[in-house]
Amino acid sequence: MGRGLLGATTLLCLLSVLQAFAIEKKGDVFKKLACPAFLMFENVAYLADMTFELPCKCKPKEASSVVWYFQKNLHSHETTVLTDFNGTVVVDSSHVRSGSDLLERFSIRMFSLIVFQAQVRDSGHYLCGSREGNFFYGYDVDVQPTGQITVAFLDSDQHVQDDYTAEQFRLFTTFWDWGGCDRCGVRGEQRRIGLCFVRSAQLSPRYRTSLPNVTSCGSRAVPARFPHLIRLRSPEVAIRSCLAPCPQKEAPGEGVASVSNIVYKLGEKPDVPRVPMQYHNQPSRSSLVIVCPGARPEHAVAWDKGSVRLYRSQYLIGVGKGMRVFIDHGNHLHIVRLRRSDRGTYFCWREGEIVAGFRLSITFPVRRRRGPVDPESLFVMRAVGIGFGIITSIFCLAHLGRCSCRKPARV
């Protein structure tokens, strides 16, 4: 009994020591990573409309807070200070619009800078430092556009872009890992995002890259005399079909099963997803953009209209000309010039699970009728008009006949 108690006490003491060591190690991360004496910039690349995080990887131990600075070009006199000097800026990503200014789309949390729905104009230098202007760490951020993105549907035997070779550089695509299947239990799709990268021996040595002589196409490490590389090679997306099983859910109890059978017998649809429902009432001929709640451009997102699957192979933007209903690269569903056939319930999948529904109704303006326009009314009006004209003509002829028959009076 005593040996067991002594063993348990020893084990608890050992666990306490390990926990204290882990806390000390986590708090001492900035002491082990010394800031470079010569400031360099780490190259990172993202696709437009994505949300990214830049951690301040080093800082002096006496610094309890950091200030982030943004410069479009190095040594530029135009510098944007990304801080409120009172701690952090809390941003609700669900209320952020892609067209907002950078100051409205950032947040500082635990020394890290978070930029929501990044735009191409956000590309540049981001520096972590103090409010006195001392810089600790720097990033070279390249946000690549989606306007001319290249899409390859692998199920249709389409292929990704070949490498582009020039005299002083070579362009190629660096692909991220395949994303998850956007649906479960039915055929879905998965994406693989690829960004433009360049290999050259003439890159600026002040920029830190993951591979020697390799950086993203929009990096400031690329010499200014090089052409605009992003015009020579655009980002690309590869899409293929997938099939993933749905996660197992607990079977309903006996009472729930009985209620389900009763509902089914009453004619209700038992397979309608039980998800939060939003209601939209839009006027006809207007345009609508539906956003999947909690989804970001890098997430696996799918859209259904009722039981109809809106696959990207048919509804991705750019697949056809003059598309009225399409999905953009930010996973938003667009409906242009709403018509009566667009009414219905749209469901949104996120990471293989249905998370929301949108019930869309279309309203039409009430037009004032200027007069009867049906064929029967027109026929009646025409007949009445002709009859009135004939009667008037007969009356006039009879009156003229009587006047011509009268003899002139003698004086």
Q: What is the DSSP string of 112-170?
A: EEEESS--GGG-EEEEEE-TTS-EEEEEEEEEE-STT-EEEEGGGT--PPPPEE-SS-E
121 in the same domain as 38: yes
Here the CATH number for the domain that contains residue 129 is 2.60.40.10
97 in the same domain as 188: no
In this structure, is residue 8 part of a structural domain?
no
Using an 8 Å Cβ cutoff, are 189 and 201 in contact? no
In this structure, is residue 117 part of a structural domain?
yes
User: Which residue from 330, 324, 331, 327 is spatially nearest to 313, judged by alpha carbons?
Assistant: 327
In this structure, is residue 20 part of a structural domain?
no
Which residue type occupies 73?
Answer: N
The DSSP secondary structure of 289-327, one letter per residue, reads: EE--TT--TTS-EEEEETTEEE-HHHHBTTSSTT-SEEE
Give pLDDT, residue 362: 94
Give pLDDT, residue 98: 62
Residue 176 to residue 356: CA distance in whole angstroms: 28
213 in the same domain as 140: no
In this structure, is residue 390 part of a structural domain?
no
159 in the same domain as 130: no
In this structure, is residue 379 part of a structural domain?
no
Q: Cα–Cα distances in Å, from 14 out to 1, 5, 66, 132?
A: 20, 14, 36, 44
* Secondary structure (3-state) at 264: helix
pLDDT digits (tens, 9 = 90+) for 148-159: 899 999 999 999
133 in the same domain as 198: no
Residue 100 to residue 104: CA distance in whole angstroms: 6
Residue 300 to residue 317: CA distance in whole angstroms: 16
In this structure, is residue 377 part of a structural domain?
no
Number of domains in the chain: 3
166 in the same domain as 137: no
Mean pLDDT by 10 residues, the chain (411 residues): 46 42 42 69 93 89 85 83 62 62 83 90 93 89 92 94 94 95 96 96 92 95 92 94 86 44 44 84 93 89 96 92 91 94 96 95 76 66 85 82 63 45
In this structure, is residue 205 part of a structural domain?
yes
**Of 243, 260, 288, at which residue does a domain stop?**
243
Which positions ≥6 away from 268 have C-beta within 8 Å?
none
48 in the same domain as 102: yes
Give pLDDT, residue 111: 86
154 in the same domain as 135: no
126 in the same domain as 49: yes
154 in the same domain as 118: no
Tokens of 355: 């998370």
Range of the domain at 103: 31-144
Residue 318 to residue 356: CA distance in whole angstroms: 26
**Of 111, 144, 177, at which residue does a domain stop?**
144
180 in the same domain as 220: yes
Using an 8 Å Cβ cutoff, are 182 and 349 in contact? yes
Tokens of 69: 């600075």
Give pLDDT, residue 296: 84
Residue 318 to residue 160: CA distance in whole angstroms: 16
**Of 189, 222, 243, at which residue does a domain stop?**
243
| pTM of this structure | 0.71
82 in the same domain as 48: yes
Q: Is residue 51 exposed (0-12), middle (13-18) or buried (19+ Cβ within 10 Å)? A: middle
User: Which residue from 357, 286, 358, 298 is spatially nearest to 331, judged by alpha carbons?
Assistant: 298
CB hemisphere CA count around 370 (13 angstroms): 0
Q: Which residue has the tokens 């933007």?
A: 317
In this structure, is residue 383 part of a structural domain?
no
Residue 377 to residue 361: CA distance in whole angstroms: 33
User: Which residue from 65, 140, 71, 141 is spatially nearest to 108, judged by alpha carbons?
Assistant: 65
